[in-house]
Amino acid sequence: MDFENFSAGTSIMHAADVRLKLIGALFFSVVVALCHSLSGAGLALLIGLVLLAGARLAPLQVARRLLLVNLFLLFFWGTLPFSAAGPAFDFGLLHISQAGVRLATLVTLKTNAIIMVFLALVATSSMVAIGHGLAALRLPNRLCVLLLFTYRYIFVLQQEYQRLRRAALLRGFVPATSLHTYRTYGNLLGMTLVKSWQRGIRVQQAMQLRGFQGRFYLLTPPAVRGRDWLLFVLLLTAASAVAVTELTSRAGGCP
């Protein structure tokens, strides 16, 4: 399983303070999500590409992620151009709606732009850093502890599940579309849940024994450096540029 492929690295994006990256990414995503114009969404995509280049991630893995998201978007390309109302391009029997093509293009631009910014800013931090960053941003502490512990045990439970599954396969289990298959999966998942629940009780007791008060203490409080602020200001400027492009194109009435 390929988790957290992008969090290790030495680029400016990796080195920047996680809190500023989270706020910047949130701000940028919200601006892009509210775009209706193709020019605004197009500019956002360009900025996304620049940020992604700045993160210097493994290109093949990034391409795979983007491919997956765009496969999901194919679903919109498969329906919208043929179903939307309004004037259409006619090719014999085929009516391709202009509004449908425009909507599908807009969605594709926006989705890719936000994903790129997310990859560049959020996926470049480790989950632990994000969890502590969210707590520092005053999200409910219990939620952040829940996030960090869920993350901590995903890998353990993944191995537990795989062990059960391997045992089933060794005993001749062949998944098919049958009630037997669903019962077997039900038992495998049920056993994983039982194990996770029992482990939860043990972890709870162990933490209690060590005086856990529901809060993590950091030995090195994170510090924001000058270049982090510079990146943050650049992000806000980029997001504002998208917003201005969007508003002018709305005022001008062009797409």
Partner 1 sequence: MHLAEGILSGPVLLGGAVLAAVGTGIGLRKIDQERLMTTALLSAAFFVASLVHVPVGPGSVHLLLNGLMALLLGWGCVPAILVALVLQAVFFQFGGFTVLGVNVVIIAGAGLLGSCMFRSRLADAKGRAVAAFMAGFLSVALAALFMAVALVTTNQNFLVTARVVFVAHLPVMVVEGAITMFVVGFLAKVQPEILGLDGSLIKKEE
Binding of partner 1 by 245 (CB under 8 A) = no
Q: What's 18's DSSP letter?
A: H
Residue 214 or 226 having the CB closest to partner 1: 214
Phi, psi (deg, nearest 5) at residue 34: -90, -5
Min dist CB 231 to partner 1, Å, is: 18
Q: Among residues 174 and 230, whose Cβ is nearest to partner 1?
A: 174
**What is d(CA 232, CA 220) in angstroms, rounded to the nearest whole number?**
22
What residues numbered 160-189 form the site for partner 1, per CB under 8 A?
A: 161, 175-177, 179, 181-183, 185-187, 189
Helix (H) or strand (E) holding 94: strand 94-97
Q: Is 117 exposed, middle or buried (0-12, 13-18, 19+ CB in 10 A)?
A: buried
Q: Which stretch binds partner 1 (CB under 8 A): 72-80, 221-229, 237-245, 246-254?
A: 72-80
Decide: is 98 part of the binding site for partner 1 (CB under 8 A).
Answer: no
Listed ranges 87-95, 116-124, 230-238, 239-247: which one lies at the site for partner 1 (CB under 8 A): 116-124
Could you say whether residue 146 binds partner 1 (CB under 8 A)?
yes
Helix axes 59-83, 98-121, angle to 10 degrees: 160
The reply on whether position 1 binds partner 1 by CB under 8 A is yes
CB of 124 to partner 1, least distance (A): 10
Residues 6+ apart with CB under 8 A from 123: 4, 5, 6, 7, 57
